[in-house]
Structure 1
């Protein structure tokens, strides 16, 4: 079985150059350009990735554009900043392919200093609220995850900003999906995050996810 991995991208040329050669066999990259001004698109094409344009800015906009462009039965998601190693995708994808889980989330195990304390704290609080909302024993709203494409499209996700990953989890829980967490190493990213790289960006991400929980 082949797998498509969606890589939302906004000026992530160094991350893509490190990440794309490390894709496991049978995994195709779908790089979704969300308005890059560096050579991210050229790097992606040079490494054989399918490049999709998502002109409307937003993490969820890029993720969903990649999901719609994917053609594989199983679709994974991963950040394009080299913080997550695509060599770990099989442990996330495996339970979905084997029919043991409907949605698998990669629970990040950070290297020292790789995950700033304020982002860990925000993630921990959001995960606590997600557990209360869904009844699922999740501990991380991490970006590496996998599910079947048609099932994901059937969730009819509408958030196009930072709330997209949490909306996916909430909708999956409401649909009775089997959700599993697996551990994945988390490295220092290359470059600064466009979502949570500033206090304002982190606040916006928390705000977007809080709206999902309040819906």
Structure 2
């Protein structure tokens, strides 16, 4: 039984999605649900379903993800949204190259499987950002999606500081500067369950663009 992977699931009011999300976690892996201030009983549902629940008082995607990373103990840590937009069984394909030692950081490249799964405004913003990243950093990645995996100790050693939407980009920029081997693999992308807090709304996407633009200026 493989018990060498912790799966960090940042969570804000995902009570409806959590049962399906947690049921897909590969057998023997530990689910760490990071509760970022839910008011719908998400934390209680996650605990009842066997997940480790970690509170993150500071609001923000990066704050939740980093709280999960610091709580993890397994050699490999995977990350995934808890909103039902991913098939968590596909975490296996993201983790496999890290476990095999052929990649240091693996990203899941979102492939929408239904109309409306990835709003046009969010998809365009992601494409524009990754065009800049490929041009400036010479790294062949096409998505900054929330499914990814890496070595826990090395991820912590990167010293990531962003606690908002710029966290995934800071991770990529610092990993590239550190000479990491970075790869990506396609993963299915489904319409999320419930209301989106970030990419499903124009306001959330604009906030993410501002956070990531700040990160680009910092590392440019």
What TM-score, normalized to structure 2? 0.96
Residue 192 (structure 1) aligned to one of 189, 192, 195: 195
Stretches of structure 1 lacking an aligned partner (at least 5 in a row): none
Q: How does 1:86-97 map to 2 (within 5 A)?
A: 86-97=88-99
Q: Map Cα deviations across residues 69-97 of structure 1 (whole Å, 9 max, x no partner).
A: 00000000000001011100010000000
Aligned structure 1 segments of 4 or more residues deviating by more than 4 angstroms: none
Q: Which structure 2 segments of 5+ residues have no match?
A: none
Aligned length: 215
Check whether the contact 1:8–1:63 (CA below 8 A) recurs between aligned residues.
Answer: yes
Tell me whether 1:83 sits opposite 2:90 in the alignment.
no
Matched, 1:209 2:219: no
**Corresponding residue number in structure 2 for 1:157:** 160
Aligned to 2:33: 31
Q: 1:183 aligns with which of 178, 183, 186?
A: 186
Query: Superposition RMSD on alpha carbons, in Å?
Result: 0.9
Is 2:134 aligned against 1:131? Answer: yes
Determine the structure 2 residue equivalent to 1:11: 13
Alpha-carbon deviation of 1:133? 3.0
What's the offset of the Cα at 1:198?
Answer: 2.3
Contact 1:133 1:213 (C-alpha < 8 Å) held by counterparts: no
Q: Give the alignment partner of residue 103 of structure 2, picking from 101, 104, 125.
A: 101
SS in 2 for 1:80: coil
Q: Distance in 1 between matches of 2:35 and 2:132?
A: 31
Q: What is the CA distance between 1:131 and its match in structure 2?
A: 1.3
Q: What's the secondary structure of 1:30's corresponding residue?
A: strand
User: Displacement, 1:132?
Assistant: 2.3
Partner of 1:47: 49
Q: State the distance in 2 between where 1:12 and 1:129 align.
A: 33
> Structure 2 matches for 1:55-74, cutoff 5 A?
55-74=57-76
Q: In the TM superposition, what whole-angstrom CA distance separates every residue of 1:166-190 from its partner, at most 9, and x where no partner exists?
A: 1000000000000001010101100
